[in-house]
Structure 1
Amino acid sequence: MTDPAEVAALARAFAVHLEHLREYRGVHFVGEGPTPSAEGDVSGADVSGADELGAGESVVDDPGEGDRGVGVPGAGEPGAAAPGRAQPWGEAAEPGPSWGAEQGGAAAADDDGAGAAYREEAARARAQRAEAAQAEAARAQAEAARAQAAQAEAARAQAAQAEAARAEAARAQAARAEAPPAPNSAPNPATEAKAPARARAADWPAAKKLAYLRERNVGDCQRCPLARTRRNIVFGVGNPEADLMFIGEAPGGEEDRLGEPFVGPAGRRLDAWLDLLGLRRADVYIANVLKCRPPGNRDPQPMEIERCSPFLHAQIRAIEPKVIVALGRYAGCLLLQRDLKLYEMRRSVQQYREPKSGAEIPLMVTYHPSYVLRQDRRGHPGHRGGGPPPQSNRPAWINPEDEKVLADLERALALLRR
């Protein structure tokens, strides 16, 4: 599409050319003859007389006397020229610029002026187009910025509206929970049926509760990816009515193969501790945070703990132990619902708070048997600081880490005797 500014520039240039043509309209070419002097009056001269001569006639009477006239009145008088008439054609004109050269120069000047005017108009048009393009780009950028700001504001408003809706829903739910039941409300048969069943289950012995939990709740658990790599679910073992409950982190290879917790090297070290304290495996109850073995005995992952921990809390509710011993950091952090270092948890007796009933049970946190075995393989001759002094009646296999664990277990037994 042609730009209007450029069209206007072309129109103005054509107007200059047309004015030039009008100014010199009617001027004829005079052939090879001398151009009339600028002092003569060329407007009234008769330049067509040469056409009336014969084909062989000459303008000059005597070729040798060309300075005596050309056969016109007054030509015999030397140097006389009629006043007001043109200079004779045979005489040389005075030096000076010719009429044709003057007019040609004026035409060339006019052409140059028209071209300069056109170029100036074209440059001005290009500058106007560039300025308009820049202004349009600035307007587009400002419009995009305004649109982005409006979008961000809409997102903030939507988030605030969603947050207000969640808060309102939470308030409504709290109000429904606190509101007393309507006096004339119809009874819910399903709720009435569940209430007696739940009341009857509360009177079950611990062994029946654990069996129901294992068969009906845990079942063939598929709640996390560990179900694809396990051999057996390792639920728990020991006395369902025990006052002392041990909780580890996760099953190992032997536990996964046999389906029973603490039956590998770590289990044998735990049995040795119990024997030193005058206890048997059948006197306590042993369970794990995870019921399935993590591949390669890696640490439990948060998602796995979240999916499996409700079963452990249900076991604790069923057994109702008087003291709990957490073996290892992961078990201690889960039972305390806090992320702490193991040495921080070992400093004092902790309290486990059951999530549903709110009952509190004393909790001792100590080292996992696997950790003590690793220290044993590294070799620890003599007693290291930070633990109780070795006792002379201890077996030879006892290392300083064993002494620390036994001291923690003795504190747990002291809590039972209160």
Structure 2
Amino acid sequence: MESSHFFLVIADVEGKILKFNRGFENISSTPSELQFSDLLSPNSELEFIYSLELMLGSPKIRRHLMLDHPSLKDEGYSQVWWEFSVVTTPDMDISGIIGIGVGMQFLEQEMPWNNLVDVLGFGEIVLDKQLKIKSWDDKIIQWFEPTEENWQGKYLIDIFSFQDLSQLKEMLPNLSPTDKPKCFLLNKEDPSRPTFAALITVSSQGYHLFLMPKAASLSQKQEKPLIPPQMFSLFSGAVFVLNSFGKIIQQNEAAKNVGRIWKGRAYSEGFNLSFPTQANRFTKLQKAIDDAKNGQSTQLELKFLINNHDFGFWNASIKPVLGEYDKPIGVLIHLIDISSIKSQIVQLDRENGRLREMALSPSHVLRGPLSSMMGILELMDTKQLDKENLKLFNYLKPLTKELDQVIRQHSKKMSTFS
């Protein structure tokens, strides 16, 4: 927390900054309540939002990102290398993300580039002075097939995966051991292969090539709609359509509003339908989605705390989307917001409760004085009454008993009132 070299930030699932260390104040002196994306350049903002979606959909993954913070340019640099991870509660609900970053200026000045593989998460390929491949690490094996392609001793440009090296060829003649590492993109012209961010640095034995796969393009081609658009537009309420992997293929505007209630912002098409907060409340929905993938339909009611006092309610219909030979190819989730109806029912229950109290109240109020009157009548000595008063007294006593019986019957009826 006291480090002046590393940046630490903790944000909620919407990307709002909750906590930060002293070093982070170099990026923003008052970051509280800001969105982390507000501190980024436009391109870095898109890359961060994309990675946030990925992490919330797959909480176990970590993301390594080179992000640009324009506010740091006065410090002589703007790029920060970040590692982001998901933070969960003991109940495994996602509560936010934590990011640890280090400025590129510090890395270049304080640490040799050939020792940065573990720090930054790069994969490394060691080359000789003729650009022949000498060795590679385990991360390179995850991304390529060096053994099958027989990389050992081959020229880098002879490897199929590295044919797009035009930028590197321009850099090499002017690259010396005293220069800072040169950055370029690999495979940026070939959409069929992943794009890599690359760094090349000179050593006494040759070169070190550091690679890191970049996030997939945000404008990636969307899957074909599973439900025809004309039919999809006829649905009332919120509608999500998922493919067989659980990714959102279609959603209407009402569904986007539901996303804003459930997770703070609308869900993005092409990403999983995830429940980062209060995930335990959506266990039944998740099971219904899994059942729909196997061809089973489910009807259920969802209840979600939308603020500290109020709940939202939805009637949910989860059905399989059937393809050829009636085989499930996706999932239809149809949500009808019944929060207002539920609110009216709660209000009616409260009003009925007040009516019940009002109905029962006269019985309690009247029976007390009436019991006192009946007790007094029992104590009176009729021998001391003259003939006329005795006659009135004999009328009064039966009337009090009759009134007592009426109140008792009324109280009995009210006790069954609901």
When normalised by structure 2's length, the TM-score is: 0.20
Task: Flag the structure with higher strand content.
Answer: 2
| Higher Cα Rg, which structure | 1
Task: Flag the structure with higher helix content.
Answer: 1
Q: Which has the higher contact order (CA 8 A, sep 6+)?
A: 1
